[in-house]
Structure 1
């Protein structure tokens, strides 16, 4: 006889993970928009309001542990709990990366670094994250593979932006390089963080594929 309470908790867990995903996605989107508009107030707001995501993460992590310990799920139910547990960690880290981007916006006033396509890269990372979360919500294995494939484009775009920035430094005088070093470092770290958002999106897709089809092909 099925355990209706357990099934309800599984449904609630999946819904809560999706809701946390929407919250994290919205925060990243606000950070990207703040960057595009050079809106320091909006960037600061994203950078300093990460506490609710951390609290939600801890609460849902506790729920996963309870489900594993009290119900000892098997087969597909076990995969759902384990995948959700790991996806929550990825979402919490994306929340941290969104805060980093907000902090970068707050420090942008008067910077002297050549234009870097942070907004375009941010939108690519955001689209990849949204696709991964849709795959989890709908249980779509095909979309999981699409997310993994899209990560190659994001990695290439991040690599090109990094190379362009480094090349611009090579063509500057030593005095100019010294004057722009702090701003350059911030841009490089921002590109790296957005690339990591894509990596977390791939992780979410990989966990989802494991959850839906017991296929670990994307896990690395």
Structure 2
């Protein structure tokens, strides 16, 4: 019976990490809607909902600690628990970034950077997280490696977008009446690009821990 309970706890842990991933991705998609629309109700839903993500994160973290302390797992089980523990942190950070994005979109009233379309970048970053979590759920190390390689493309997209935003600042600076408003808009757009790039970085972290969990291979961690 104790062994069966232990295995049930491991399955429950995997299931809750995956479910938290679903919640975070749902909030991320809502945040992207706010970037496009500036909708205040949706922004509030994302921002206020971050607390529930944090609470769930801490609850699952406690489960990981309890499993390690009381069950003293070894080998594959220990890798799964520690990988899940690290993935939790990345999911919580993606939730924080979704909150940032919702705030940026609301402050900009849906006109974050009219000269730069950030939607394709946001979609790439979100798909990376979704695919990384799918690789984790299915113990698919090869898929995790493939997802991680997409980060280079995302980085290039972010660099291109940042350069375009900076060019807009240079072009508009001499002709604008409200310089402070222009600087606020450009700064907000650059912060958005930065946070989208970080979403992709967290997807890579999830992939690295999945590869380690499945194959005891730390190639992507360092």
Counterpart secondary structure, 2:150: helix
Partner of 2:200: 198
CA gap of 1:187–1:61, structure 2 versus 1, over 3 A, is same
Distance in 1 between residues matched to 2:118 and 2:47, nearest whole Å:
17
CA gap of 1:35–1:114, structure 2 versus 1, over 3 A, is closer
CA gap of 1:179–1:53, structure 2 versus 1, over 3 A, is closer
Distance in 1 between residues matched to 2:130 and 2:110, nearest whole Å:
33
Distance in 2 between residues matched to 1:173 and 1:182, nearest whole Å:
12
Distance in 2 between residues matched to 1:135 and 1:35, nearest whole Å:
28
CA gap of 1:110–1:190, structure 2 versus 1, over 3 A, is closer
Residue 2 of structure 1, CA deviation = 7.8
CA gap of 1:197–1:173, structure 2 versus 1, over 3 A, is closer
Distance in 2 between residues matched to 1:118 and 1:3, nearest whole Å:
50
- Tell me the TM-score normalised to structure 2 length: 0.94
Does residue 82 of the first structure (1) align with residue 66 of the second (2)? no
Name structure 1 gaps, 5 residues minimum: none
Residue 35 of structure 1, CA deviation = 1.8
> Which string of whole-angstrom CA distances, capped at 9 and with x for unpartnered residues, describes residues 84-123 of structure 1?
0000000000000001111111101385854222221111
CA gap of 1:107–1:28, structure 2 versus 1, over 3 A, is same
Distance in 2 between residues matched to 1:86 and 1:110, nearest whole Å:
34
Counterpart secondary structure, 1:197: helix
CA gap of 1:110–1:154, structure 2 versus 1, over 3 A, is closer
Does residue 99 of the first structure (1) align with residue 102 of the second (2)? no
Does residue 43 of the first structure (1) align with residue 15 of the second (2)? no
Name structure 2 gaps, 5 residues minimum: none
Q: Provide the aligned C-alpha RMSD in A.
A: 1.7
Deviates most, 13-22 or 110-119: 110-119
Instruction: Give the number of equivalent residue pairs.
Output: 220
> Which string of whole-angstrom CA distances, capped at 9 and with x for unpartnered residues, describes residues 150-194 of structure 1?
111111101100001111212233463544001111111111001
Deviates most, 138-147 or 177-186: 177-186
Partner of 2:146: 146
